[in-house]
Chains A and B, each alone.
Chain A
C-alpha cells in the first residue's frame, strides 16, 4: 500500500506535466522555453517521489532477506552435521574394512 499523500501529489504533478506538454507543443518562444523548464522541474519532482518510494520497498526486501539469511546459515550447519555423520559412518566402515583385512590375513597365517 502506497502513501495516499504521495499518490495525491503525484497525480497533481502528472496532471500539470500533461498540461505543460500540451501547451508547450502549441506555444511560441520564449513561452515554449519557460514551459519546458517547468516541465523539467515537475519531472524531477515526480522522479524523486517515485524513487524514494521504490527505495523504501527495496530496503524492506533487503531487511527480510537478511533475516532469512540467518535461517539459511542454520540449515547449512545442520547439513554439515549430517555430512559429519555420513563421514563418521565412512570412518567406522573403513576401520571395519581394515579389521576384516587383518582378520583375513591372521586367519590365513593360523
Chain B
C-alpha cells in the first residue's frame, strides 16, 4: 500500500517528463557509455550505406562490358578471315575469352558484394528494430498492470490511480537509451576497424579500373576501339549498311564504358572519403552542436515515452 501511494505521489508531485529525463540520464551514466546513437549519425550511416550498396555492381559491369567488346572484335576478325578454319578459330577464341573475362567480372562482383554486406550490417546496427521490439511487450505490461489495478479497485472499492502506463513508459525510455548506447558502441567499433579495409578495397577497385582507362592504364577499352577502327577502315567498310550501324552502336557502347569507368573511379574515391566522414562523425568528441543533438535524442526518447504513455492511457480509458 505504501509503495502504491509513493508512486501516486511521484506521479502527482513531479512532472512526468522531468522524472523520465533523470531516469534516462541515470541509465546513460550507469551503462558506462560514452554516447548515444544520434539521429545525424544514423543519417550519415544510411547515406553511406545506400551509396556503397549501389556501388558494388560497377566494377563487375565494366569487366563484363569489356568481355562483350572483346567478343565482338573476334567476330569481326572471323567475318574477314582468310579461310573457314581461321574464322571458326576466331569465333571459338572469342567465346573462350568472353567466358574467361566474364568469370573475372563475376569474381569482382562477388568480392565487391562485401560492400553490400558491410552496409547491411551498418543498417542493422543503426536500426530501431531493437527498441521497437521491446515496445510491444512493455505496452502489454502497462495494460496488464492497469487492468490489475482496475480489477483491484473494483473488488476492494478502492480508488488507486493506475500507474501501469507510467511504469511501462519509464521502462521503455530506460531500455531505449541503454540499447542506443550499445548500438553506438558497436557501430563505433565496426566503423573504426573497417576503415583501413574500406580504404584497401576501394584502392584495389580503383587500381582495377585504372587498368582500363587513364594515363598509366593498359588502355584496354581504347585498344579494343582501335582494333575495331582498323578493321572497319581496312575491310569492314566494304560490308553492307547494317555493319556501319553495328559499328556505330559499338562506338556508342565504348563511350558508355569509358564514362562508367571514370564515374566508378570517382565513386570509389568518394566512397572512401564518405567512410572517413562517417568515422569522424562517429568517433569525434562531441562539440556543443552534437551535445545538443545528444540531448535532443534524449528528449526525443522522453517524448516518445510520453507518447507511448498517452497511447496506453488512451487505450485504458
Contacts and interface: CB of A to CB of B under 8 A. Distances in A.
Interface magnitude class on chain A: 35 or more
B59 A22 contact: no
B55 interface: no
Given A74-B189, A81-B182, A107 B151 contact: yes
A82 B216 CA distance: 48
Interface in B244-271: none
Given A53-B218, A72-B118, A93 B140 contact: yes
Contacts of B290: none
A46 B108 CA distance: 21
Contact of B152 (A22, A32, A83, A104): A104
Nearest to A27: B82
A1 B55 CA distance: 22
Interface string A49-76: 1110111011011111101110110111
Interface magnitude class on chain B: 35 or more
A52 B136 CA distance: 57
Given A25-B234, A74-B190, A82-B183, A68 B211 contact: no
A33 B145 contact: no
A68 B29 CA distance: 33
A61 B59 contact: yes
Contact of B190 (A47, A53, A54, A75): A75
B220 A50 contact: yes
B194 interface: yes
Contacts of B131: 86
A103 interface: yes
Contacts of A89: 134, 137-138, 171, 175
Nearest to A68: B197
B182 A82 contact: yes
A45 to B, nearest CB: 13
Interface in B118-143: 118, 121-122, 124-125, 130-131, 133-134, 137-138, 140-141
Contacts of B141: 93-94, 96-97, 100
B63, B83, B107, B204, most chain A CB atoms within 10 A: B204
A83 to B, nearest CB: 7
Given A36-B86, A78-B189, A57 B207 contact: yes
Contacts of B86: 33, 36-37, 40
Contact of A78 (B125, B138, B152): B125
Contacts of A94: 137, 141
B151 A104 contact: yes
Interface of B: 59, 63, 77, 81-83, 86, 89-90, 93, 97, 100-101, 104, 107-108, 110-112, 114-115, 117-118, 121-122, 124-125, 130-131, 133-134, 137-138, 140-141, 144-145, 147-149, 151-152, 155-156, 164, 171, 175, 178-179, 182-183, 186, 189-190, 193-194, 197-198, 200-201, 203-205, 207-208, 210-211, 216-218, 220, 223, 226-227, 230-231, 234-235
